[in-house]
Amino acid sequence: MIDVEDLIALVRNYNPRTNADLIRRAYAYGKQMHEGQFRKSGEPYFTHPVAVAAILTEQRLDDATIVTALLHDTIEDTRSTYTEVAQFFGEDVAELVDGVTKLTNLQLSSTQSQQAENFRKLFMAMSKDLRVILVKLADRLHNMRTIKSMKPEKQAQKARETMEIFAPLAGRMGMQWMREELEDLAFRVLNPDARNSIIRRFITLQREAGDVVHKISADLRLELERVQIEADVYGRAKKPYSIWRKMQEKDLAFSRLSDIYGFRVICGSVPDCYRILGVIHQRWRAVPGRFKDYISQPKTNGYRSIHTTVSGRDGKRVEVQIRTRDMHEVAEAGVAAHWSYKEGVRAVNPFAVDPANWISSITERFDEGDHNEFLEHVKMEMYSDQVFCFTPKGDVVQLPRGATPLDYAYAIHTRIGNSCVSAKVDGIRVPLWTRLKNGQSVEIITAEGQRPQSSWIDIVTTGRAKAAIRKSLREEDRGRFVKLGQELARAAFDHIGKRSSDKALRTAAKMLGLADEMDLLARLGSAEVTARRVVELLYPELALQRTDEVDALRPVVGLSDDQSFRRAGCCQPVPGERIVGITYRGQGVVVHAIDCPALEEFEEQPGRWVDLHWHSGRHAAVHTVSLELTISNASGVLGRICTVIGEQKANISDLRFTDRKPDYYRVIVDVDLRDVEHLHMVMTALEAETDVAQILRHRDLSRKPATRAQE
């Protein structure tokens, strides 16, 4: 559990003027009130409010919100009262704690009529002070992170509520990072087999294709350096739930997904955003229909950015988001940007939309009649990336934003989609490419003998519609596509001096999850699979590989030639993480991660700080990181854990047990890694193992360097 001084230090990082005494008193009061209470995991209950407060410090929130987090369960679960909280901590905090208590008591996943009324109460609490929902979202996030200790049926109930209510609400509040984590944590409970399957496929893909994120990030940085644009480039693989949802929406197998990697380019100004867009489109081919300008047309939650999808390295589709640093702060913080502090001053971000406007537009409908109509309106607002249309009989059809009448027709039934000739929207005949809006009534007109046309592929948005159209076109033109596919395969194999044999094609078809070589040839001819992709699958050694290795002896930039350096043992920074150097007499420069708590004691010694960053390129796997694992006490578990780490091409340099119980072990494993992406790969692979209950990055402040003053 984080102690009170560490919590205050987290707040001081962004608000040096924090009321430390108020936080100390709230910490002591909460600890006293929860004395003798324990969580399902056996931990003292007060560890939960402290963890919620720590989550809120990541969003740089004000003292009142941090104190509310420490006290948010006192009125509900202890002998504390509203009057007592108001007396000790003020009316502002008491109102916030009372608001969170009322939200906790709402059963948001109850029956339809109860749910409508509880949603009214939810939005009433939010309309009074939006900080209430920020605390509640942080509370739910920590509960989901520690949900394994609950009974299975309770886990499922909380996970469904999180997926249906809290994750979309976090998204509507502009807190996309929290929405993604909540969705993925709920997905782990609701469909663990699907999640683990996606993680294993990701691991296999990374083993076959190499470090794709690093390569593409390096390509982007190189292009920006050529035109002298200063910008930060970040890349990552998308979350398992995001990938699974895309597979469901587009009805695609994992092997056929394209843009499973996302990249962000963060720059200094709006003109630079558009210059960067031009650079990217000049270097790589843009994917039609995948460009969105949310700078000129921001989302309703204040989100601004440029999104484009391009065919990047080796033809892989990647999504690139381009935004300024101010826009990035809003994208990360959402409504929390309205209460965030920086250097002791409340931050005012010019791009943030006032969330009160959305809440007031909802609360205006409170007295307009039917509960179910209100609930329907709220859910439409929360699921702002969806479109809800009505059949002539009044049934609701849910579609992604941007969907057309053709998507609607295929959502009803494939037969209706295939035979569609025209559509009426709100009684008026419209072209099939019309974009549908929330609440519209759609009627599909069909005709016997009608067949899907190839142009429909560019009209529809949903994976179901695209898959049905492609299937119909394949069946109609299969013979022609097979013949064309044979020619494409022959030419591609001839180019590398190989023969396009039936056996080779069958092997490639199996690797792509296709039925046989004829299915592969048909897809080659219809341009669903490229001949280059087939060749790369069968002969990966022929693909170009980047060999820009970084010198392991000098992996950081910013040191003078005579300065020695070493990584701090307390935080163990790895390439890809932000770093800073601290000079020590007789010890050279010690490299710390920028968020290392040990740096706090050097705030008054700016002369000892050295600005450093890692060399770009491929680093050697020599950077040791300590991982703390809680694993089942069963035969063969430790061996499997070591095998998983070895499969990620990571070396175990030390292993020590810290706790032994009849049913589990706690063990610290020292692993030699290349960079932060390599660390992520290892931790993700271990997390997918059923015998691993928990995995954390172990940081030991007792290993920080001696603090002898430098003369």
Give per-residue pLDDT as tens, 668-688. Answer: 999 999 887 788 778 877 877
Mean pLDDT on 574-602:
87
pLDDT number for residue 78: 86
Q: How far apart are CA 33 and CA 44, in angstroms?
A: 12
- Give the per-residue pLDDT at 634: 82
pLDDT tens digits for 355-413? 566 566 556 545 544 455 455 545 545 554 567 788 888 777 878 778 899 999 998 99
For the CA atoms of 296, 299, 305, 306, what is the dihedral angle to 10 degrees?
-70
What is the DSSP secondary structure assignment for residue 387, as one 8-state letter?
A: E
Q: Reply yes or no on whether the pLDDT at 259 is more than 80.
A: no
Per the DSSP assignment, residues forming a β-bridge with 322 are 265, 306
Angstrom distance (rounded) from CA 572 to CA 654: 15
pLDDT, position 544: 44
pLDDT at residue 274 tops 80:
yes
pLDDT recorded at residue 373: 47
Cβ-contact 626, 670 below 8 angstroms:
yes
Between CA 298 and CA 604 the distance in angstroms is 42
From first CA to last CA, the distance across the chain in angstroms is: 37
More confident site: 118 or 653:
653
Tokens of 575: 């390439």
Average pLDDT score, the chain: 82
pLDDT tens digit sequence for 135-173: 999 999 999 999 988 888 889 988 988 887 888 888 877
pTM of the entire structure? 0.55
**Among all residues, which ones are annotated catalytic?**
76-77
**More reliable by pLDDT, 37 or 484:** 37
Task: Give the strand pairing for 565-567 and 588-593.
Answer: parallel
Identify the sign of the CA torsion 184, 187, 189, 193. Answer: negative
Predicted local distance difference test score (pLDDT) of residue 250: 61
pLDDT of residue 530: 77
* Token reading at 679: 């660390």
> What b-and-e string marks burial along 54-71, b requiring 16 or more CB atoms within 10 Å of the CB?
bbbbebbbbbbbbbbbbb
CA angle 456, 457, 458 (to 5 degrees): 90
In the chain, what percentage of residues exceed pLDDT 70? 84
What percent of the chain lies above the pLDDT cut of 90? Answer: 25
Q: Is the pLDDT of residue 549 over 90?
A: no
For 289-293, which contacts have Cβ atoms below 8 Å and span 24 or more sequence positions? 289/458, 290/319
Q: According to DSSP H, which parts of 496-592 are helical?
A: 502-511, 517-525, 531-538
Confidence of residue 322 (pLDDT cuts 50, 70, 90): very high
Alpha carbons 277 and 291: distance in angstroms, whole number: 10
Q: What is the mean pLDDT of residues 416-438?
A: 90
Q: Is the pLDDT of residue 208 over 70?
A: no
And the tokens for 461?
């948005």
The alpha carbon of 252 is separated from its chain's Cα centroid by a whole number of angstroms, namely 21
Task: Note the pLDDT of residue 275.
Answer: 94
Instruction: Report whether pLDDT(265) > 90.
Output: yes
Compute φ and ψ for 311, nearest 5 degrees: -85, 100
User: pLDDT of 296-305, one tens digit each?
Assistant: 877 766 778 9
Q: Region 494-515: what's the mean pLDDT?
A: 84
What pLDDT is recorded for position 515? 85
Q: Does the pLDDT of residue 290 top 70, yes or no? A: yes
Which pLDDT belongs to residue 368?
46
**Structural domains present in the chain:** 4-190 (1.10.3210.10), 193-346 (3.30.460.10), 385-459 (3.10.20.30), 466-542 (no CATH), 556-614 (no CATH), 623-703 (3.30.70.260)
Q: State residue 710's pLDDT score.
A: 39
